[in-house]
A and B are shown apart, each in its own frame.
Chain A
Amino acid sequence: MEYTLVFLPLLGALLSGFFGRLIGDRNSEILTSLLVSISAILSFIIFKEVTLNNYENNLVIFKWITSGLLEVNWSIKIDAVSSVMLVVVCFVSSLVHIYSIGYMSHDPHKTRFMSYLSLFTFAMLMLVTSDNFLQLFFGWEGVGLCSYFLIGFWFKKDSANKAAIKAFIVNRVGDFGFALGIFLIFYLFGTVNYDEVFSQIPQYINNEISFFYISLNAINLICILLFIGAMGKSAQFLLHTWLPDAMEGPTPVSALIHAATMVTAGVFLVVRCSPIFEYSQLALNFICLVGMTTAFFAATVAIVQNDIKKIIAYSTCSQLGYMFFAAGVGAYNVAMFHLFTHAFFKALLFLGSGSVIHSFKDEQDIRNMGGVWKKLPYTWILMIIGTLALTGFPFLSGYYSKDAIIEFAYMRGNFFGTLAAYIGIFTALLTAVYSWRLIFKTFHGSYENKNLKIESIHESPHIMVIPLIILAVGSAFAGYLFKELFIGPLSSENFWKDSIKFIIPLTTDHPPYWVIYLTPIIVVSAIPISYYLFIKNKSITLWLVNENKPLYKFLINKWYFDELYNYIFILPSKKIGIFLWKNIDVKTIDRFGPDGISSIIKKLSDKAVKFQSGYIYQYAFIMLIGFSALLTYLIIL
């Protein structure tokens, strides 16, 4: 069953990729969707087995690398954490496959697109089912590669290509840390298998290691390095710059890769490595800090953006921040829970926005929309469900997971936890404001598009709406249904078991009432306030913008990160490249090396040539001088 689950998407990718032309567009669309859907059904069965029957498994497919101590297998590991990820990945992926049939109907490269989607799914499955760090790294890079392909899917657009490369390179910066983390793990433990590493951790908590002449605790260093990898993949503060640009890819891609699955791989990594992270308070605090910074930063930027997809992208960034600080306070299961619910409502929002963009004939600027809620009734309602769930409106899924994060952070009792809780509450307010701004500007108010007549706006086809409905059901009820299983008081013993390690058991105390009630109140009251600000009385927002020009510019330029990186990394790299090439290679090594030697030889031979003038009298003269010199020498002697 596990084999089928993992390899069906690969089969789909290969068939569609290599024989796409042979079997036709429509057939390959149906084929890939069908295969991934079968995987999705299997993933539910496995999830059910894991929850009800405590099913666990660790299959070895075949040997990958053996070199000295290093032994790595291709493997499939099923436990609580990976079964949750399987459901998220396969379920969202199958819906996105189906949705894409409608969304990409006018694209000439359908088979290529479906092939990439399936390949991505396969890579993601390899990532989550790995039993060792190396296969995890394979999946990690594999999803990065597919992300690169899909961001740059419209290869004629220069901006898409640039965004694709940017995504790959920024992720590579993260991978740099991740790879060093793996090296260090192998160096210390002589193995890269999870179980073998995790079982040895307690013996190594006091190991010191010298890193650039600074003595550091080995476990701290491993955790920080692994987390740098997670920061790259999950677009956390400082390594987040690629995610908004990644919106150049087709919208289904944004929903699958840049919202529901790939970007959560970083969270998965931290949760998976909880047996290591639990021993490093330093790394946990760092994660917490980075998480809350990202949550806050991305939310502030999202408020002023005008591109519908970029708003949701920053929102994703911000929600990932929530997941990380949840993990940072040791509430790994809550992080997984938010990952799980977030997959539903964020995929819903992205696919919904895709439906809007589709209707508006590829318009993405929300200033050019508005007033179309009657024209797009399904999309409108479904997007509102997604927004309610995202903002944490009571009893929808985001309410259970996000509030749980804030509560657990508060109850952790340390400085970072409390700070994270406050920032979490404030960010919840920002989240509500930007989300409702998006809804109101897109669907309400007056129609602002000058290029399209409002009559030409029409609802998307069924094949796009049905996946949205399924996701909306998930967004509404997933939180309520799975709350006990994921974060209930007995979740650790009954469900997570060994897959997540808690050294300090999570508190079961009740947080103070104001913490429980504050967030929902803020979130609910944000709806009328946003409506007033963005629809009824726009002059207030205009006034705010005009009064705070520098702040507004700072936000709309995303805190100037792109400019900063361009200035300190990209331009110097180019200059260094030119300098080393022109000045060192050509002007120094070659000039004094081969060219220098050959020119010296040439000069010497030029001199030697002068002796051979061919004039007899010159030769005779030289001979005479030589003869007389010799004679003089002999006489004097």
Chain B
Amino acid sequence: MNFPFLSSLILLPLIGSFFILITKPGKNTNNKSAKYVALFTSFSNFIISIYIWYIFDPHIFDFQFVENKSWINGFINYKVGIDGISILFIILTTLISPLCIISVNNTVTNKLKEFLIAILVMESLMIGVFCSLDLVIFYLFFEGGLIPMFLIIGIWGGSRRVYSAFKFFLFTLLGSVLMLVAIISIFWINGTTDIVELYKTGIHVKYQYLLWLAFFSSFAVKTPMWPVHTWLPDAHVEAPTAGSVLLAAILLKMAGYGFIRFSIGLFPVASEYFIPLIYFLSLVAIVYTSFVALMQDDMKKLIAYSSVAHMGYVTLGIFTMTQQGLEGSIVQMISHGLVSAALFLCVGVVYERMHSRLIASYGGIVSIMPRYAVLFMIFTLAAIGLPGTSGFIGEFLILMGAFKKSIIVATIATLGVILGAAYMLWLYKRVIFGKLNNIELIKMLDLNKSETFILVSLAIPTLVFGFYPEPLLNTIEVSINNLIDTYNYQISLIE
């Protein structure tokens, strides 16, 4: 097993984007060769990642496929490797990216080549985040992801794109700077930034609290947690569809992954100490943003706020430190990756036809777009967490885990289930059902082939994992077990 699978996953999109760069700059609207190159690379990446999942051994908790090369001698190593947790996020990334590229077909007309390059670079960086085993490498990938996203919003966005792009950048950078400081301090304290080493040696308790807060500030913004969530609705509203999809499906997951890998893995004592804070912020996120989502008149904003609520469940689940809670969080993240991506694509479908994101401009389109209505319904139900969809597995496991820790927290979080149903069904009703009042809507065509393909390929895993989530749960079980054991061991050392 010496083939550098992970490096090739990371490099392939970069190579692809290089080829796109040298394709002939044809007419912007019809840049077929660039599209094919992008599609080919991202799709081969998906196949490779599925193959990695297939040969991945879920019964050992050590990192697998580890590659370690010295980069700056004695200081930083390029070290990558995956465990049961990372592999799922990598597959999510490699699944979403080609779908994004297909969706670009219809939406982006301006500077298509550059857009595709941005998406591919983004894919590389995000895969890098999920498999880096060195803090510095992680930081590079993590922050590097900001740049293509910033460009995607700032160049291809809507009318207030510059404001949104800067807001996005300002928020995320603010948190990240602190994380950088923390990483440097870890190097001074422990003399290494190798995560596996750090897991073994542990970080001295007296430093943990400050370091935890520094990492937290970065992850909290990216998650996003209340009250640093306000960049997300703006970023989503202005971003082009593919940008929203990447943002919601993968970028937000980097924070959840970060919490699991770093906050809990490196600073267990501090994590235990800050649990009340996390619970409080998660509950506020769940209840507060659900109320806000209820009153939105812009579809994208509504879904953006619902993302905040869903990520609130994720952070809650992670810090329950129970098997159910953590596994639920990961399933919830995967599920939210599929569902929110699909919901933003659904909005994109009608936006592209009507150029309006306002709920009020739609209504009654089930009679002209039945196929769209069915798929939209599936994702709405998954967002509500109806049993039989992946959303249910995540939400229910998280709440079960939370109940073990605190009945009050679980009860308040369960309230979000009612509110979630309210805002999603109300959205669906106002867009899809009712009388066809807006005459212009009649001209809308039902989903074309590529749109159907994208949405169906997201609907299938959503439903399959709802009825049979074992592939996900099996993959993460051992890693999660190990994480909890180490965590409890470290806590017990203090007492």
* Chain A residues close to B by CB (< 8 Å): 62-70, 74, 134, 137-138, 141-142, 145, 148, 152, 155-156, 158, 161, 164-165, 168-169, 172-173, 175-176, 179-180, 182-184, 186-187, 209-212, 573-574, 576-578, 580-581, 584-586, 589-590, 593-594, 597-598
Contact = CB atoms under 8 A, between A and B. Distances in A.
A155 B230 CA distance: 35
A187 B171 CA distance: 39
A186 B403 contact: yes
Contacts of B195: none
Nearest to A177: B414
Given A145-B386, A161-B433, A161-B434, A156 B421 contact: no
Residue from A65, A70, A152, A578 whose CB has the most chain B CB atoms within 10 Å: A65
The 8 A-B pairs at the shortest CB distance, nearest first, are namely: A68-B323, A577-B295, A183-B403, A138-B387, A155-B433, A577-B291, A577-B294, A581-B292
Contacts of B403: 180, 183-184, 186-187
B415 interface: yes
B393 interface: yes
Contact of B323 (A67, A156, A164, A597): A67
Contacts of A590: 230
B128 interface: no
A597 B230 CA distance: 14
Given A145-B386, A152-B433, A169-B421, A183 B393 contact: no
Interface of B: 166-167, 170-171, 227-228, 230-231, 288, 291-296, 322-324, 327-328, 364, 366-367, 381, 386-388, 393, 396-397, 399-400, 403-404, 407-408, 410-411, 414-415, 417-419, 421-422, 425-426, 429, 432-435, 467-470, 473, 477
A186 B400 contact: yes
B414 A180 contact: yes
B199 to A, nearest CB: 22
Given A67-B323, A138-B388, A161-B433, A172 B418 contact: yes
B418 A594 contact: no
A100 B494 CA distance: 69
Contact of A155 (B366, B422, B467): B366
A180 B422 CA distance: 19
Contacts of A580: 288, 291-292
B473 A67 contact: yes
A574 B295 contact: yes
Contacts of B426: 165
Contacts of B388: 138, 141-142
A209 B294 contact: no
B176 to A, nearest CB: 15
Given A161-B433, A580-B291, A65 B473 contact: yes
B296 to A, nearest CB: 8
A209 B411 CA distance: 14
Contact of A137 (B292, B367, B387, B410): B387
Contacts of A63: 468, 470
Contacts of A67: 323-324, 327-328, 397, 473, 477
21 contacts: A64-B467, A67-B323, A67-B397, A68-B322, A69-B323, A134-B387, A134-B396, A137-B387, A142-B388, A155-B432, A156-B435, A165-B422, A168-B421, A176-B417, A182-B400, A183-B399, A212-B407, A577-B292, A585-B292, A589-B230, A593-B228
A158 B434 contact: yes
Contacts of A66: 470, 473, 477
A209 B381 contact: no
Nearest to B429: A161
A6 to B, nearest CB: 14
A169 B417 CA distance: 10
A308 to B, nearest CB: 26
Nearest to A108: B367
Contacts of B231: 594
B416 to A, nearest CB: 10
Contact of B418 (A134, A176, A211, A598): A176
Given A68-B323, A594-B231, A180 B410 contact: yes
A598 B171 CA distance: 11
Given A137-B387, A183-B410, A210-B407, A175 B417 contact: yes
A169 B418 CA distance: 7
Given A67-B328, A155-B433, A145 B381 contact: yes
Contact of B387 (A141, A168, A172, A584): A141
Nearest to A209: B407
B159 to A, nearest CB: 18
Nearest to B301: A581
B415 A176 contact: yes
A186 to B, nearest CB: 6
A275 to B, nearest CB: 22
A512 to B, nearest CB: 46
